[in-house]
Amino acid sequence: MKNYLLLALIFFQTASVAQLSQTILSPSIYYTHGAYSNQNSSNSIALYTTLKTNNDIYFIAGYDNLNINNPDWTYLQQMFAAGTIFAIESFYIKANYAHIKGDFDYKPFFYRYSDFSNLYNADLFYYFDGNYLGAGYTHLNQIGLKTQRVNQMTIRLERIFLYDFFVSVKPSVSLLSDKGELFSVALKVHYLISPQWLAKAGGFVGKRAYYFDSDLLTIFNQDDTQKFQAFAQIEYVLNSTLRLIGNYQYSKFAAYSINYFVIGIRTNFNL
């Protein structure tokens, strides 16, 4: 049962192992504020819904609305995402698609443009003796003021140390049409403090741009090269259907840094 517990813990945070044989609907909402070291600020509302069927197939849908504000310009980005996870014996297959639309408005003059991105992702990983080993591939194609093509390859090295401790290491290389090859290594640790409290921490070192996290269905869609990230998160299980989330994240780019503050609510309903 540990492999199914890990999927619930890592990807969808269902409330208990006993629920894993049931059909579960898990809507969630997140608000994110970004404080930049330059003049920018951002606000984001993200909605995600996961449906787990009684034969352990997962369907995921997500929407993210992001506003970035500057005294001279605004940028609105919307992302629509969908994905699925299913198992064949001890193998797990994930497939995700995202469509991203951005609208830029320069205030001093009448200058506007839009860009569009389509993202395709597939992951394959294998479970044995508390370990998850696998690889993923992501392709992003952006059309607009700037044309960008990204091919991202990520290795998944994860292990469950006892019931309450999980470690994930993900080396990743991205090939960008204008930046060449970028390499990074991400680390994530989950520790179940008690049945009510779950702590997470991690980040990455290296270089990356347009990075897609296939577990969280999030994309760091900045054109600037990201050089470092660190985060800490705490989750509290209020009851069997409601979980509260608080997250802080620091991201360092070539020319600036961003402090992100996130609050979220995740729910679980047995159908």
Domain boundaries, the chain: 2-270
The residue whose two tokens read 């951005």 is: 102
Q: Write down the pLDDT at residue 85.
A: 94
Q: How many CB atoms lie within 10 A of CB 14?
A: 24
| DSSP letter, residue 6 | H
Residues of the chain with pLDDT under 70: 1-21
- Which residue blocks in 134-236 are alpha helix, DSSP H? none
Asked if 242 contacts 226 with a C-beta cutoff of 8 angstroms, the reply is no
Q: For domain 2-270, give the CATH number.
A: 2.40.160.40
State the Cα–Cα distance between residues 249 and 201, nearest whole angstrom.
Answer: 10
| DSSP letter, residue 271 | -
Q: Write down the pLDDT at residue 236.
A: 97
Q: Write down the pLDDT at residue 21.
A: 56
Q: How many CB atoms lie within 10 A of CB 140?
A: 23
Chain centroid to CA 62: how far? 11
State the Cα–Cα distance between residues 252 and 227, nearest whole angstrom.
Answer: 6
State the Cα–Cα distance between residues 239 and 241, nearest whole angstrom.
Answer: 6
Q: Write down the pLDDT at residue 19.
A: 42
Chain centroid to CA 241: how far? 22
Taking the model in full, what pTM does it have?
0.89
Chain centroid to CA 132: how far? 18
Tokens of 260: 């992100």
CA distances from 71 to 13, 35, 77, 224 (A): 39, 14, 18, 20
Instruction: For residue 264, give every residue at least 6 positions away whose Cβ sits within 8 Å of its Cβ, in sequence order, or none.
Output: 28, 29, 30, 31, 244, 245, 246, 247
Amino acid of residue 135: A
Tokens of 21: 């044989």
Q: Write down the pLDDT at residue 4.
A: 36
| Length in residues, the chain | 271
State the Cα–Cα distance between residues 89 and 77, nearest whole angstrom.
Answer: 39
Tokens of 31: 């608000």
Q: Write down the pLDDT at residue 8.
A: 40
Q: Write down the pLDDT at residue 145.
A: 77
State the Cα–Cα distance between residues 229 and 245, nearest whole angstrom.
Answer: 19
| DSSP letter, residue 9 | I
Tokens of 35: 């404080």
